Structure 1
Amino acid sequence: MNKEMKQTLNEIIDFEIDMPTKHHAHESIPYIYQQYGVSLPQDYKDFLLGFGGCFIKENAMYQPIEMPSVTPKDGFDSINGFYGCVSNSLNLMSVIQTYKDVLGGSFLPIADADGGDLICMGLKGEYEGRICYWYHEGDTGENGQEYYYLVANSFEEFIRKFSLHEREQPVNLDDIDLFLLDEDC
């Protein structure tokens, strides 16, 4: 893994959240090969061994190439965390088992997006090596497959897309209550 990728990961990972100890991280790569029959890009293998199973800071966001309908107007999306060999909700092997029938053998879930959606790595065909957003309530295409939205052309590009971003919270005037005091009180 290159220096720039490590630096970005160190900026966006929420190290303040206590993470369970990674266990048997080296077993995740053969497990993925066993489940899908494909080799993973080296940068993703390095990530799994060094950083997999981590939560991401709330203000760490990325701009996808294709925006799903759930992307906020500012064009930035976020994730909750990356899957890895940990004993919590970010357990990669458990997530693979949960979604393998839904995603088929062409996509590997790599991160937890908001609202039950996933960030996936394409394993075969036109999406091989690319990172996609899977919107679980999306329309289906002609062949019955869910639509995927292209986020980045590689895992490294996906990591480089992250930056710290503060969302502007528009003020809704209907949410403001005014209390006027009589000066004679």
Structure 2
Amino acid sequence: MNISPWGENSEEAVRAFEQQIGFSLPEDYRQFLIKHNGARVNKQTFFVKDLDQEVLLHVLYGLTNEQSRGLTLGYWLAEHDEEIGEKELVIGHDPGGHQILLITEGEDKGVYYWDHNHFFAKSREDEGDTYFLADTFTEFCDLLKDHKPATV
């Protein structure tokens, strides 16, 4: 994964965030937050099978960010409080603002691409606007590939 991390967090900071949100984060995602505290993603893409679409990832949110509150997990949790489930967290976005959703428990547990503004026709036509990507955060990171610009 080619990223520019925003720093580190302590175990205590992650634990305090979990207490604030009322649920535990998956261990692999916790370790990402401790080691990197979010990151700008450097020209990495992932494939959304159900959309048959390659997507450029832009940001993975952290607990804190000195540049912008809008790059934090807490900001997006408050922003989408009414739209996401109890044990769900918006963890990042693509350059168009479509988000990466982490569902931490239940039969739908995993990482999803959330086309919440229905940019893709399939999201407008069908009832759903979330598309499964991976069972775990680690598996999602393993999906990331270097962006190869189209040649003319």
| Residue 131 to residue 33, structure 1, CA distance change in 2 (3 Å) | farther
The Cα shift of 1:33 comes to 4.0
CA positional deviation for 1:106: 4.1
Corresponding residue of 1:51? 36
Computing the radius of gyration from Cα coordinates, the structure with the larger value is: 1
> Is 2:107 the partner of 1:107?
no
* Distance 1:83-1:97 versus aligned 2 partners, 3 A rule: same
Structure 1: runs of 5+ lacking an equivalent: 1-7, 172-185
Moved over 6 A (4+): none
The corresponding residue for 2:140 is: 158
Q: 1:136 aligns with which of 116, 129, 146?
A: 116
1:27-42 to 2 correspondence within 5 Å? Answer: 27-35=13-21, 37-42=22-27
> Is the 8 Å Cα contact of residues 23 and 87 (structure 2) preserved in structure 1?
no
Q: Tell me how many residue pairs correspond in the alignment.
A: 143
Distance (Å, rounded) in 2 between the aligned partners of 1:118 and 1:102? 13
Give the corresponding residue for 2:121. Answer: none
Q: Kindly report which structure 2 residues correspond to 1:167-182, keeping only aligned pairs within 5 A, or say none.
A: 167-169=149-151, 171=152
Distance 1:147 1:29, change over 3 A: farther
- Among 74, 82, 91, the residue aligned to 1:93: 74
Q: Give me the whole-angstrom Cα distance separating, in 1, the residues matched to 2:19 and 2:134.
A: 22
- The one-letter code matched in structure 2 to 1:39 is S
1:14 aligns with 2:20: no
TM-score (norm 2): 0.79
Whole-angstrom CA distance in 1 between matches of 2:84 and 2:134: 18
- Bigger proportion of residues as strand: 2
Q: Give 5+ residue unaligned stretches, structure 2.
A: 119-123
Aligned partner (choices 132, 136, 147) of residue 129 of structure 2 = 147
Query: Once the two structures are aligned, what percentage of the paired residues are identical?
Result: 23
Task: Kindly provide the CA deviation profile for residues 53-91 of structure 1, in whole angstroms up to 9, marking residues without a partner as x.
Answer: 210112x11223x3337x3xxxx2121111002232312
